[in-house]
């Protein structure tokens, strides 16, 4: 079994304990162990801030963008190895591994290209100067400068690659060194990628630190001026928000947490047609891609009452065609959850939501291919129905992080929006309709409670980028329960890693800033 070391203060270091074991979710076989017991985390963070921060800030935005491009090339050159690790440690079919691996590389490449067009060095101007004195002889210029601290990137288990690089891209482009803490269950892939990037020597010393295993002591090592970028459950986010470094010392925290995302079928599509078909296709895809282990996955499907039975039948029929089991079997279209612990958590969630629902597709009756239900972490897809969604509070509240969605009928558009908002703030809602006015109204009704509103009209049915696909061009994050964070969205992502300041002075002096 491989022991995965940590990269701190410029060297690979082993933890002094036994650590946590990473397993193959199909067989339960031990694959690797991670541990960071005994590491001097405050010294590691101090080294990252001083060495990495200074080296990155000495470069222009475009020069740092070029570094991102080289990181992406290193990852591209090693991608076969990453697919093998994902298969063994995450139990995903190739297409699902690609969402994570290619998604990470694409996002990095996107920021490399975007950053190449930035002409600035040292700071970014935030709008034009504004006059303060009546005669214009005294002005204010707002600027954004990279923080002098580090960015601690804590990631969830479901995206060991994308979760890492979608945070690393904007942070490094901003000039901020990163300390990466992958989720333990799937840390192997993040470890392999970081090891390849370090071996290639494309980043300056101190720009990239890796800590695997327990998170104990990591937040204590933060200091004012650092940034904490977290993805995971809202329970863990609540713990981190209460940590004195965040609550008292002002460490800036961005949180991407869980979400009861919805798909909404327009009243015009109740009788079927292209928008209806698009909703069915997307619901099936979202339930099954990565076995539903996506923070953006559709958890609730809202349809006009008249379409409830038709939608139930169509989605269930498509789910019946999905072969589930060991991704090494070429017939399998949906692999495993990441661990037996997730399997047990998802099964408990299904049982909890089942009470008060009707079962429209029973995943419990599906025969797994080459997977032992008593050992593997495979769970087949489920579709539940809540004929009276107002009376099923749990369906709007419990995120079952697996292949399950609940179909809900609505009375009218107002009722549909009310149901969507019962998710208490979500990452994304998608709307399927051929009615321009309904699409526009839905976007405005849902925008304050959803980070992204994804409109699917028949002419976009084949070209739209997918309800659950997070594109770096578009904002990722959501209000309320989804964490209140903002990631990606092009250059908007750089704001987290910059501080804004108002520089006041005489105009001829302010010009010297550039």
Q: How far is the CB of 311 from ligand NAP (least distance, A)?
A: 24
- Distance CA(30)–CA(33), nearest Å, equals 8
CB of 231 or CB of 457, closer to ligand NAP:
231
Q: Tokens 């078909």 appear where?
A: 277
CB of 72 or CB of 183, closer to ligand NAP:
183
Q: How far is the CB of 119 from ligand NAP (least distance, A)?
A: 31
Please identify the residue of the shown chain whose CB is closest to the bound ligand NAP.
232
- Distance CA(167)–CA(287), nearest Å, equals 25
Asked if 130 contacts 140 with a C-beta cutoff of 8 angstroms, the reply is: yes
Q: How far is the CB of 275 from ligand NAP (least distance, A)?
A: 27
Residues 465-494 that bind ligand NAP (CB under 6 A): 483
Residues 110-169 that bind ligand NAP (CB under 6 A): 154-159
Q: How far is the CB of 293 from ligand NAP (least distance, A)?
A: 8
CB of 252 or CB of 415, closer to ligand NAP:
252
Q: Which of 49, 57, 181, 290 binds ligand NAP (CB under 6 A)?
A: 181
Q: Which DSSP letter does residue 368 get?
A: P
- Distance CA(84)–CA(396), nearest Å, equals 37
Q: How far is the CB of 16 from ligand NAP (least distance, A)?
A: 17
Q: How far is the CB of 471 from ligand NAP (least distance, A)?
A: 13
- Distance CA(92)–CA(326), nearest Å, equals 8
Number of CB atoms found within 10 A of residue 43's CB: 12
Q: List the structure tokens of 344.
A: 């047990």
Nearest CA-CA partner of 309 in 283, 282, 270: 270
In angstroms, what is the C-alpha Rg of the chain? 24
Positive or negative torsion for Cα 477, 478, 479, 481? negative
- Letters for 403-442 (x = contact with ligand NAP by CB under 6 A, - = none) are ------------------------x---------------
Residues 205-264 that bind ligand NAP (CB under 6 A): 215, 218, 231-233, 236, 239-240, 256-258
Query: Judged by CB under 6 A, which stretch of 140-148, 179-187, 321-329, 383-391 contacts ligand NAP?
Result: 179-187
Q: Is 178 helix (H, G, I), strand (E, B) or coil?
A: strand
Query: Judged by CB under 6 A, which stretch of 102-110, 127-135, 177-185, 366-374 contacts ligand NAP?
Result: 177-185
- Distance CA(25)–CA(336), nearest Å, equals 7
Q: Tokens 């601290």 appear where?
A: 149
Q: How far is the CB of 475 from ligand NAP (least distance, A)?
A: 12
CB of 183 or CB of 203, closer to ligand NAP:
183
- Distance CA(503)–CA(110), nearest Å, equals 31
Q: How far is the CB of 237 from ligand NAP (least distance, A)?
A: 7
Determine which one of 295, 378, 486, 487 is catalytic.
295
Q: How far is the CB of 183 from ligand NAP (least distance, A)?
A: 4
- Distance CA(286)–CA(504), nearest Å, equals 51
Q: Is 90 in the site for ligand NAP (CB under 6 A)?
A: no
Determine which one of 256, 282, 486, 487 is catalytic.
256
Number of residues that bind ligand NAP (CB under 6 A): 25
Residue 449: CB partners within 8 Å, gap ≥ 6?
420, 421, 423, 425, 426, 478, 479, 480
Angle value at C-alpha 151, between 5 and 223, nearest 5 degrees: 100
Q: Which of 139, 184, 336, 406 binds ligand NAP (CB under 6 A)?
A: 184
Nearest CA-CA partner of 452 in 474, 437, 472: 474
Angle value at C-alpha 81, between 80 and 86, nearest 5 degrees: 100
**H helix and E strand count, the chain:** 15, 23
CB of 476 or CB of 498, closer to ligand NAP:
476
Q: Is 401 in the site for ligand NAP (CB under 6 A)?
A: yes
The yes-or-no answer on residue 378 being catalytic is: no
The yes-or-no answer on residue 295 being catalytic is: yes
CB of 16 or CB of 76, closer to ligand NAP:
16
**38: alpha, beta or left, given left = phi > 0 and alpha = psi -120 to 50?**
left
- Distance CA(50)–CA(333), nearest Å, equals 47
Residue 367: CB partners within 8 Å, gap ≥ 6?
none
- Letters for 262-291 (x = contact with ligand NAP by CB under 6 A, - = none) are ------------------------------
CB of 24 or CB of 166, closer to ligand NAP:
166
Largest Cα–Cα separation, the chain: 80
CB of 135 or CB of 235, closer to ligand NAP:
235
CB of 177 or CB of 402, closer to ligand NAP:
402
The residue ranges that bind ligand NAP (CB under 6 A) are 154-159, 181, 183-184, 215, 218, 231-233, 236, 239-240, 256-258, 295, 399, 401, 427, 483
Query: Which are the catalytic amino acids?
Result: 256, 295
């Amino acid at each position: 079994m491989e022991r995965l070391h940590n990269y701190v203060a410029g060297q690979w270091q082993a933890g002094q304990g036994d650590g946590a074991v990473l397993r193959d979710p199909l067989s339960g076989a031990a694959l690797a162990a991670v541990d960071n017991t005994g590491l001097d985390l405050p010294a590691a963070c101090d080294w990252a801030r001083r060495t990495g921060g200074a080296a990155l800030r000495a470069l222009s935005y475009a020069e740092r963008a070029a570094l991102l491009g080289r990181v992406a090339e290193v990852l591209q050159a090693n991608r076969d190895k990453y697919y093998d690790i994902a298969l063994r440690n995450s139990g995903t079919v190739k297409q699902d591994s690609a969402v994570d691996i290619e998604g990470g590389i694409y996002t990095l490449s996107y920021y490399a290209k975007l950053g190449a067009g930035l002409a600035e060095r040292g700071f970014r101007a935030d709008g034009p100067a504004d006059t303060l004195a009546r005669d214009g002889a005294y002005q204010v210029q707002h600027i954004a400068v990279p923080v002098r601290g580090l960015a601690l990137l804590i990631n969830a288990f479901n995206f060991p690659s994308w979760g890492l690089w979608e945070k690393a891209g904007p942070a490094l482009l901003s000039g901020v060194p990163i300390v990466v803490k992958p989720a333990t269950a799937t840390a192997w892939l993040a470890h392999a990628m970081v090891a390849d990037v370090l071996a290639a020597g494309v980043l300056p010393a101190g720009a990239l630190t890796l800590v695997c295993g327990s998170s104990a002591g990591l937040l204590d090592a933060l200091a004012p001026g650092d940034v904490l970028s977290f993805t995971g459950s809202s329970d863990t986010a609540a713990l981190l928000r209460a940590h004195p470094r965040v609550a008292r010392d002002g460490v800036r925290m961005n949180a991407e947490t869980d979400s009861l995302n919805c798909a909404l079928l327009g009243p015009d599509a109740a009788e079927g047609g292209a928008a209806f078909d698009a909703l069915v296709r997307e619901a099936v895809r979202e339930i099954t891609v990565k076995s539903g282990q996506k923070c953006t996955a559709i958890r609730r499907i809202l349809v006009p009452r008249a379409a409830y039975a038709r939608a139930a039948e169509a989605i269930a029929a498509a789910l019946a065609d999905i072969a589930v089991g060991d991704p090494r079997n070429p017939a399998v279209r949906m692999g495993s959850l990441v661990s037996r612990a997730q399997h047990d958590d998802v099964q408990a969630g299904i049982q909890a939501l089942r009470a008060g629902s009707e079962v429209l597709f029973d995943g419990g009756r599906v025969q797994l291919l080459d997977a032992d239900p008593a050992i593997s972490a495979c769970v087949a897809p489920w579709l539940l129905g809540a004929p009276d969604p107002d009376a099923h509070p749990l369906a709007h509240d419990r995120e079952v992080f697996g292949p399950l969605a609940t179909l809900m009928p609505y009375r009218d558009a107002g009722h549909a929006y009310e149901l969507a908002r019962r998710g208490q703030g979500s990452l994304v809602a998608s709307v399927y309709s051929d009615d321009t006015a309904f699409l526009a109204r839905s976007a405005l009704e849902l925008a304050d409670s959803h980070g992204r509103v994804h409109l699917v009209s028949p002419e976009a049915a084949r070209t739209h980028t997918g309800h659950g696909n997070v594109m770096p061009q578009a904002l990722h994050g959501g209000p309320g329960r989804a964490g209140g964070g903002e990631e990606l969205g092009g250059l908007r992502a750089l704001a987290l890693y910059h501080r804004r300041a108002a520089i006041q002075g005489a105009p001829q002096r302010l010009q010297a800033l550039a």
